C-alpha cells in the first residue's frame, strides 16, 4: 500500500493561526490526485489490465513538483476541473505501455473525490492526535482539581459553587465525544470514489468492482461498495464531525477567555514562545500598543477557527443536493469549503492541545473569588436548610430579602440571615454558607467523566488497530 503524501507546513500571513495543524494548498491537492492516479495504475496492473511495471512507472512520475498548478488551473477553465489537464500532462511523461494505465476506467470526479478523502484522512489523523493530547491534559486537570471549589456561573452571573475538576471534566467529555465521532467517520465513511463516467465502471467491464477493491487497498481507504457521486452524505457527515470538534475546542477557549480576565484571574494561558507585538522576542500574548498585556492567544486562535466552521458546514450541507448521476455545480462547491474546514479543525485542535497542556490554574484565586461573594451564591443551600421548619416558599422569600438587604446596604449576608431567621443558630448558617458542603455530585460526575475517558481511549485504540472498513477484492480474472 502506498502512503499518500498530504498536508504541508503552514505558509502565509494567516496560516500560523488558521492552519497550525497543516495546510491544504495546491501542492497537497495535486499530490493527492497524483497518488490516486498512481494507485489506480497499480491496481490495474494487479488486476491484469495493465502491463507489468506500469504501476511503478506511473508512481515514479506522479510527483507534484513535476507539474505546474497554475497552468493546470488555467486549463481547468476549459473543462471545469483540473483533472483532464493533469491526466494529459502525466500521460505525456510516460512511455506508451505505462501511459495506457493512466486514468483508465476513471472520471475526473473519481480523482478529485478520492484525493479529498486522502486529504481528509491525513487531516483527521492529525487532528485526532491533537485532540487526544488536549483530552489527556483535561483529564489530568479534572483529576487534580476534583475537590477545588470555584464559583459556578450561569447566564454570565454568579451561581452555586462547582469544582474546577467538574469544569475540566466537562471539557474532557466534549473532547472525547468529538474525537470519537471524528474517528468513526474517519474509519467508516472516508472512502474511495471510483465509478467511471456515470457510476457503472462500464469501461472496465466485469473487472470494475475488483479494480475498485484493489484501488481502495492501495490507498488505505474503505471500499464503499458502490460509487457515491451524487450521494454526498459522507461529505456532510465528515463536515459535521469536523464542526463538532471545532465546537468542543471553542467551548474550552471561550471558558478560558472569561476565566483569564484580569478581574477574575482564575486561569492563565502558558507563556509559550513567540514574539511581542513589536516584533521583538518575548512571551506569547504581547500587545502592539499595551506592553502590560498578556492576551490569551491560544484561546483567541481557537475561537477564530471554530467560528468559521458552522458556515462551512452549511455550505457543504446545501451542496449535498445533487442531480442524477453527476452534479452541475454542487460538487464543485465542496472543494474549497471542505479543505478550509479540514485546515481550521486541525488548527483548532493543535491550539487546544497547546492551551490545555500549558494552562495555569490558580486555585487560590478561585477560593478568593468565592469568598468575596459573602456567601450569596449559597442562598439556595440556605433555603434548603430553612425549608423544613418554615416551608419552602417562606424560606425562599426570607433568604431573598436577606440577600437584597445585604447587597443594598453592603452588610454581610450572614448577618442579615441571622437577624431574619428566628431560632436558627450561627453554626447552622455558617454550615449552610460553606461552599465545600454544597458541591452536590460534582466529584461523582468528575469520576464518571474520567472513567468514560479511559473507555474512550480503549475504544479509539481498538478502532485504530482495525483500520478502515475495506471490502476484500472480489474474485475475477487476472492475478490475485
* Selected catalytic residue, list 153, 326, 367, 411: 326
The string of DSSP letters for 340-406 reads HHHHHHHHHHHHHHHHHHHPEE-HHHHHHHHHHTTTGGGHHHHHHHHHHHH-HHHHHHHHHHHHHHH
- Interatomic CA distance for residues 337 and 343, integer angstroms: 10
Q: What distance in Å separates the CA atoms of residue 235 and residue 314, rounded to the nearest whole number?
A: 12
DSSP H or E segment with residue 252: helix 233-259
Q: What is the DSSP letter of 474?
A: P
| Catalytic annotation present for 184 | no
Interatomic CA distance for residues 144 and 128, integer angstroms: 24
Radius of gyration of the chain from its Cα atoms, rounded to whole angstroms: 29
Residue 63 CA neighbour count, 13 Å, CB half: 7
Q: Which residues of 409-420 are buried (b: 16+ CB within 10 A; e: fewer)?
A: eeeebbbbbbee
Distance, CA of 114 to CA of 108 (rounded, Å) = 10
Q: Name the catalytic one among 203, 287, 288, 425.
A: 287
Give start and end residues of each alpha helix (H) in 189-223.
Answer: 208-219
* Active-site residue, 23 included: no
Q: Which residues of 458-479 are buried (b: 16+ CB within 10 A; e: fewer)?
A: eebeeeeeeebebeebeebeee
User: Where on the phi/psi map is residue 163: left (φ > 0), alpha (ψ -120 to 50), or beta?
Assistant: beta
Catalytic residue list: 287, 326
Amino acid at each position: 500500500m502506498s502512503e499518500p503524501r498530504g498536508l504541508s507546513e503552514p505558509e502565509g500571513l494567516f496560516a500560523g493561526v488558521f492552519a497550525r495543524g497543516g495546510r491544504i494548498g495546491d501542492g497537497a491537492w495535486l499530490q493527492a490526485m497524483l497518488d490516486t492516479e498512481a494507485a489506480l495504475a497499480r491496481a490495474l496492473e494487479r488486476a491484469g489490465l495493465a502491463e507489468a511495471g506500469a504501476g511503478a512507472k506511473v508512481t515514479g512520475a506522479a510527483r507534484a513538483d513535476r507539474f505546474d498548478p497554475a497552468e493546470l488551473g488555467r486549463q481547468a477553465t476549459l473543462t471545469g476541473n483540473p483533472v483532464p489537464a493533469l491526466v494529459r500532462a502525466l500521460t505525456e511523461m510516460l512511455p506508451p505501455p505505462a501511459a495506457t494505465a493512466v486514468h483508465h476506467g476513471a472520471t475526473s470526479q473519481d480523482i478529485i473525490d478520492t484525493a479529498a478523502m486522502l486529504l481528509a484522512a491525513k487531516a483527521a489523523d492529525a487532528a485526532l492526535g491533537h485532540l487526544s493530547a488536549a483530552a489527556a491534559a483535561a483529564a489530568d486537570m479534572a483529576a487534580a482539581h476534583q475537590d477545588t471549589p470555584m464559583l459556578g456561573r450561569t447566564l454570565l452571573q454568579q451561581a452555586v459553587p462547582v469544582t474546577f475538576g467538574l469544569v475540566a471534566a466537562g471539557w474532557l467529555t466534549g473532547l472525547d465525544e468529538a474525537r470519537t465521532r471524528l474517528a468513526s467517520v474517519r474509519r467508516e465513511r472516508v472512502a474511495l470514489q471510483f465509478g467511471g463516467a456515470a457510476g457503472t465502471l462500464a469501461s472496465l467491464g466485469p473487472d470494475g468492482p475488483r479494480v475498485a477493491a484493489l484501488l481502495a487497498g492501495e490507498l488505505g481507504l474503505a471500499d464503499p461498495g458502490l460509487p457515491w457521486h451524487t450521494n454526498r452524505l459522507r461529505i456532510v457527515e465528515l463536515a459535521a464531525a469536523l464542526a463538532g470538534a471545532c465546537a468542543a475546542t471553542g467551548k474550552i477557549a471561550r471558558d478560558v477567555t472569561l476565566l483569564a480576565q484580569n478581574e477574575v484571574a482564575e486561569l492563565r494561558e502558558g507563556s509559550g514562545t513567540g514574539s511581542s507585538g513589536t516584533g521583538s522576542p518575548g512571551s506569547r500574548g504581547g500587545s502592539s500598543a499595551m506592553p502590560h498585556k498578556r492576551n490569551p492567544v491560544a484561546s483567541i486562535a481557537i475561537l477564530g477557527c471554530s467560528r468559521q466552521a458552522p458556515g462551512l458546514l452549511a455550505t457543504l450541507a446545501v451542496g449535498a443536493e445533487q442531480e442524477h448521476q453527476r452534479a452541475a455545480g454542487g460538487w464543485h462547491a465542496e472543494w474549497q469549503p471542505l479543505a478550509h474546514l479540514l485546515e481550521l479543525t486541525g488548527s483548532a485542535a493543535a491550539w487546544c492541545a497547546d492551551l490545555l497542556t500549558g494552562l495555569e490554574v490558580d486555585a487560590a484565586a478561585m477560593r478568593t473569588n468565592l469568598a468575596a461573594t459573602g456567601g450569596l451564591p449559597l442562598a439556595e443551600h440556605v433555603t434548603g436548610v430553612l425549608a423544613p421548619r418554615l416551608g419552602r416558599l417562606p424560606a425562599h422569600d426570607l433568604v431573598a430579602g436577606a440577600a437584597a438587604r445585604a447587597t443594598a446596604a453592603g452588610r454581610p449576608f450572614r448577618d442579615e440571615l441571622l437577624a431574619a431567621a428566628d431560632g436558627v443558630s450561627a453554626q447552622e448558617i455558617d454550615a449552610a454558607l460553606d461552599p465545600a458542603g454544597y458541591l452536590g455530585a460534582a466529584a461523582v460526575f468528575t469520576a464518571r467523566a474520567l472513567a468514560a475517558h479511559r473507555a474512550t481511549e480503549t475504544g479509539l485504540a481498538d478502532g485504530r488497530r482495525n483500520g478502515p472498513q475495506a471490502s476484500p477484492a472480489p474474485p475475477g480474472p487476472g492475478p490475485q
